[in-house]
A and B are shown apart, each in its own frame.
Chain A
Amino acid sequence: MKLPTLRRDIVCRQAVELVTDYLEGALSRRDTRRFEAHLRACDGCDEYLRQVKATIEALGRVEPEDLAPETREGLMELYRQFLED
């Protein structure tokens, strides 16, 4: 029987798939250590994580569209009708 790959280092293609679980705190302690060890040794994956964080930051800046006054008025009208019914 083949030994499980417990001690094997992760490669870049695997590391990029672990980024979200890492940021979500969903990796086991052992996988977190392996992931961080990989990042320390790999500029490409370190940069990749940095880019994902920058992406999340940029997403967080997107505001919903402003509420149009006529939409708001329509909803307040809906409210008054609801109370009458």
Chain B
Amino acid sequence: MSDDELVRRLRSRDESAFAELVDAYHPSMVRLAQTFVSSRAVAEEVAQDTWLAVLKGIDRFEARSSLKTWIFRILANRARSTGAREQRTTSVDVSDESAVDGRRFDAGGTWSDPPTHWSDDVVERLSSGPFVSQVRAAISELPGSQRAVVTLRDLEGLSSKEVCDVLEISEANQRVLLHRGRSRVRARFENELAKQ
């Protein structure tokens, strides 16, 4: 179903178009909202408010972005202000953070403790069903802004430009947050695998 067609049906108050959108995006919206607010219940409320805003605003949708990006952007704005009212800090992460623990390099910056090889079997295991709970845990431990970017890029599959649109951040900032988030998740997987 194309955006044009969905928008046309929504504007003509076609209930099945709304149902299709809810099926397609609601779980993802709750997942994104959770990166800004304190609980699942609050995230559900934010997503619900977003649907009302979508219904009220659909006549003004100008297709400058995809419908999904537009909806996610409304959601992110609302989740951010709700998170701010809850006094959750989602301020931009400017701290110095290395991708890899500095103690693993020698004084010249060369690996002294290089990563252990992940065999094809290991790589496959990371993407397998039983490992999913580890992956979810790794994501949930990320600082909010990194988690939002990783969720949109790597879980939702949005482009970097779309992520910048949704979160209203610069391309450079997006890359820093993505880098830190992915680096943390890789390091966590590495620790997890070392235990097994």
- Chain A positions 21 through 33: 1 when the CB is less than 8 Å from some CB of chain B, otherwise 0: 1001010000000
A72 at interface, CB cutoff 8 A: yes
Mask: chain B, 166-196; 1 = CB below 8 Å from A; 0 = not: 0000010001001100110110011000000
**A76 lies within 8 A of B26 (CB):** no
When chains A and B are docked, how far (Å) is the Cα of A67 from the Cα of B24? 9
Q: Is the interface of A mostly helix, strand, loop or mixed?
A: helix
Check B175 against A16 for contact (C-beta < 8 Å).
no
1/0 per position for B107-137, CB-CB distance to A under 8 A? Answer: 0111100111110001100110001100110
Complex: A13 Cα to B27 Cα, angstroms: 38
B19 at the interface (CB under 8 A from A): yes
Are A59 and B155 closer than 8 Å at their CB atoms?
yes
Say what secondary structure dominates the interface of chain B. helix
A24 touches B175 (CB 8 A): yes
- Closest Cβ of chain A: how far from B74's Cβ, in Å? 15
B126, A58: Cβ atoms under 8 Å? yes
Q: Could you list 16 further interchain pairs (A-B, Cβ under 8 angstroms) beyond the known A52-B186, A59-B135, A79-B18?
A: A12-B109, A12-B111, A20-B178, A47-B118, A51-B115, A51-B186, A51-B189, A52-B183, A57-B126, A58-B131, A59-B154, A59-B155, A62-B155, A64-B30, A75-B18, A82-B52
Interface residues of B (CB under 8 A from A): 13, 15, 18-19, 22-23, 26-28, 30-31, 44, 48, 51-52, 55-56, 98-100, 102, 105, 108-111, 114-118, 122-123, 126-127, 131-132, 135-136, 139, 150, 154-155, 157, 160, 171, 175, 178-179, 182-183, 185-186, 189-190
